[in-house]
Amino acid sequence: MVGGTGGGGPAPLLSVAGLTVEFRLRDAPVRAVTDLDLTVRPGELLAVVGESGCGKSVLAHALLGLLPGNAVVTGRALLDQPDAAPVDLLGCGERHLATRVRGRRVGLVPQSPATALNPVRTGRRLLAETLRAHGHHRARAGAEAERLAADVGLDPADLDRYPYELSGGMAQRLVTALALAPDPALLIADEPTSGLDRPLVDHTLDLLRRRCEAGGAVVLITHDLAAARRVADTVAVMYASRLVEVRPADRFFGAPGHPYGAALLDALPDRAFRAVPGHPPMLTALPAGCAFAPRCPRATDACADQPAPAAYGAGTVRCHHPLPIGGTP
């Protein structure tokens, strides 16, 4: 199974099995996520990486029931609950998601903060309303709002601005503070460092890392491999709607198993600084076999068939011709 690295440790906080998302369009269906299996444990920071358009954000929105009406979602996503049986996020219904999951058990840092913020509320009011909705006394909500602002690197004075008065980086930090306010067990952070300069990128990543050290879990969706390398415990590589590699972060960055993972690492400035050749396939016309084959130097006729995920060291790789374990990328 393509998923967590297995072994010991705490029971999974989130277990995803067979997640598939297809958008029904007039011309052709769009297969955005295909047969995805994944686990996230308390204390774990899982980084989902890959080129734009591979399905990373759709994965996040599917787990929280935030997809449009033309999305067809199948599979299972069990979320652990205190003092209750796990709930299937894909089948529990909107009412349960809205009242028990979103912004409570699971927080989301959205990829586009400008569209996620109420334009007629200042940042201070947005934070105070969120805190009060989750049990904070009105008299203490203001002080807690300023503490959250400081945690994410936002000047407390900027809380009195409206969203249209904030820079992209300020808005990004505000939505991060809003997602953290209820102290969710699982935080899904979709490109949370977008629009930030390097010191604030590192500040935000360290904040996410500290949540895991305190027992929370984080799914970091990012195209920034340097960010993933800084804080991730586990790396999940996504390509053309599928997970193709899930490995412990140190092993992935030391020696990836899938040729696509190796190509992503080769694109880093401190490595070969060489772009991945070619282009990903259209999600309306995914091939029956390995979608990376047209771009892969290791491809053979066997790649005309879809490879199954297979154990690879301490993780899994979906490839007919994985790189040697421990070999040079």
- In order of their start, the domains of the chain are 1-99+212-329 (3.40.50.300)
Instruction: Round the average pLDDT of the chain to a whole number and report it.
Output: 93
pLDDT value at residue 4: 45
Indicate whether 317 pLDDT > 70: yes
Q: How confident is the model at residue 3 (pLDDT cuts 50, 70, 90)?
A: very low
Residues 249/251/255/259 CA torsion (nearest 10 deg): -60
Size of the chain, expressed as the number of residues it contains: 329
Average pLDDT over every residue of 51-77: 96
Give the DSSP H or E segment for 220.
Answer: strand 217-221
pLDDT value at residue 10: 85
Q: What is the CA radius of gyration of the chain?
A: 20
Q: Other C-beta atoms within 10 Å of 213: how many? A: 9
Average pLDDT over every residue of 305-319: 96
pTM > 0.75? yes
Residue identified by tokens 């306010």 is 181
Measured distance CA(128)–CA(202) in Å, rounded: 26
Query: pLDDT by residue (tens digit) across 154-192?
Result: 998 999 999 999 999 999 999 999 999 999 999 999 999
